[in-house]
Amino acid sequence: MTATLTRAPDPWPTATEPAHGVAIVAGAATPAIRPVAAAMAERDGAATCVGVRWVLDPDDDVACVRALTDVHDLEAGRIVCHTIPGASWPVMVRDLLWALGKDRDALSREGRVRDGPMVLAVWLRAEDVRHIVVLRAHTLSPAVLKSLAGLTVATDTTVWLVWHTRESPPGCPLGVVLQRLTIDATSYDELLTRLHAAQTGFRDEGLSLDLPALGDDDRIAALGPRLDPDRRLVCPTTAAALMLALATDTDACQLAGTSAFWTCSVGRHIRFLGGTYRIPPRARALLRAAVLTAEHPATLLRDRHGRLFLTRRMANLVRRGADRAGLALPPTARPSSVWDRAEPYAPAFTATASITRHQTS
């Protein structure tokens, strides 16, 4: 049995900025469930994290699946969804309703297929569900994963996506950690200092942070320094979109769907599908301005007429903002040929990064 779950450390935990975790795998299946159970037991406490968390089971361990299945307890606010591989969002909605005790064909039989997501959200709130475990999440498309992330916002739930494969979840969680460590570095030397300090910190915890790109100046440049917020832009939407593109490498498609609910009141972080990215103090005013002026919090970045930005319009907005601010255009501020992708942060540097545990004799 090879699946132990521990929660990834959050370098900057605060009462208003809960850590949104990644599960790290190593050990035996039953201990793996203990941190999950402990987090679920905090459902009425301030430490509960609303959002997406990953559970990694690289060996597809039957014992791990069985233990997670046993977590299901609707009366205690926990449901486990056994979805089919590659399920579409309507199928995912059907399977989640089934986990809530509804018949699989209830939506079609009662003529409610079109408003299935709304019905699901109503029942999750009515049943006071706080935790949703989704097995086989590694087979789901990025669009379905993003819909699940949106469901957490609409229903104040935590979704545990179980990743039964050795491939990394979307968004490269290690890349998110490196973003949080380096985003406010102001020079090349400071970047190197932070990266070496991170390696030392991991080593003190019995882990090895391998950064093959550390010897390549061009690949280090992918990390920055990259965030020098420009206050010349007067439009809060343009300023926030440009800053988020620079700070997170999020592409135009995902930027267009940014929600005010994905940040806190002071703008310390922004949560996208790939993880929770840190916004350094000197850039938080740009995010706060967008939140303060948003008439539709569910979709933070809209034009002055209240219209949504589709992917190409968002890419053009970021491009114009970069031109007016005299900044280099973020490479991800362009329409994506792949719908709703979740790219790693600074992939030229982070794609080869890895963490391993020191072998003990």
Rounded CA-CA distance 21/132 in Å is: 15
Cβ atoms within 10 A of the Cβ of 105, count? 10
> For residue 126, is pLDDT > 60?
yes
Q: Is the pLDDT reported for residue 290 higher than 70? A: yes
Of the ranges 225-234, 279-288, 343-352, the best mean pLDDT one: 279-288
Structure tokens given for 352: 């080869």
Predicted local distance difference test score (pLDDT) of residue 318: 92
Mean pLDDT, rounded, for 237-260? 88
Rounded to the nearest angstrom, the gap between the alpha carbon of residue 5 and the centroid of all alpha carbons in its chain is 18
Which residues are CB-neighbours of 60 under 8 A, at least 6 positions away?
Answer: 164, 165
Q: Is the pLDDT of residue 25 over 50?
A: no
**Residue from 179, 150, 204, 187 nearest 12 by CA:** 179
**Segment 8-13 mean pLDDT:** 28
Residues 6+ apart with CB under 8 A from 112: 106, 119
pLDDT of residue 193: 93
Domain boundaries, the chain: 5-163, 175-361
Query: Model confidence over 188-232: pLDDT tens digits?
Result: 999 999 999 989 988 887 778 889 999 898 889 888 888 776 678
18-38: average pLDDT: 45
Least confident of 103-112, 231-240, 293-302: 293-302
Q: Pick from 121-135, 160-174, 189-203 the range whose average pLDDT is largest.
A: 121-135
Distance (Å, whole) CA 181 – CA 106: 48
At residue 359, the pLDDT reads 58
CB 71 within 8 Å of CB 33: yes
Task: Assess whether pLDDT exceeds 90 at residue 284.
Answer: yes
Give the pLDDT of residue 167. 66
Is the pLDDT confidence value at 287 over 80?
yes
Higher pLDDT among residues 169 and 138, named by residue: 138
Residue 310 is predicted with a pLDDT of 82
Amino acid occupying residue 243: M
In this prediction, residues 97-123 reach a mean pLDDT of 93
The answer to whether residue 62 scores a pLDDT higher than 90 is: no
Q: What is the average per-residue pLDDT within 143-150?
A: 82
